[in-house]
Amino acid sequence: MPATLSQMLLGPDTFPRVVADCQALVDQEISSKSGMSGAAVKLAYKGVTAFAPGYYQNALSNMLPSFTEQLEPFWADFVNAGGSSFGDYLAKNGEEVSEALLQVTDQLAGTSSKAAVVRAYKSVRGGASKHIEAALPNFGEMVQKYAY
């Protein structure tokens, strides 16, 4: 029986590497943004990392189990279908995957006591889905590397 995402990503030896890879992916994706929405994302990210040092890294560590839970049905479908690229699979289901992941960030924003973080999140939430969808191929490939 194939491993679940939780088994692959959240183990004590793997978890820190996954968090570091997620952070690197986020940094890469944000730096590649352009235009007005890209500028807004970069400003929000800079605000969160400057006004709440360590918050983002801690939040990412805390959100990873919930992200994994949201991705689990997509992973199971991908494995059962015999897919070769989880990144391609996620991209083909981009809107649904994006909304599943945004449930996690929405919940975090709804319970955060950091007003600056919540403001920054709310400023980019409207366009977040398209940014997430754009990152799904790379995100899926990053996840899949832990599968083997």
pLDDT tens digits, one per residue of 78-123: 999 998 999 999 999 999 999 999 999 999 888 888 787 788 788 7
Query: CB of 59 within 8 A of CB of 65?
Result: no
3 pLDDT band (50/70/90 cuts)? confident
Domain count of the chain? Answer: 1
Q: What is the pLDDT of residues 134-143, one digit of tens each?
A: 999 999 999 9
Mean pLDDT of the chain: 88
| pLDDT above 70: residue 52 | no
Query: CB of 140 within 8 A of CB of 147?
Result: no
Radius of gyration in angstroms for the set of CA atoms belonging to the chain, rounded to a whole number: 15
| pLDDT above 60: residue 1 | no
What is the reported pTM?
Answer: 0.84
Judge residue 112's burial from the number of C-beta atoms within 10 Å of its C-beta, 0-12 exposed, 13-18 middle, 19 or more buried. Answer: middle
Domain range for 111 is 5-144
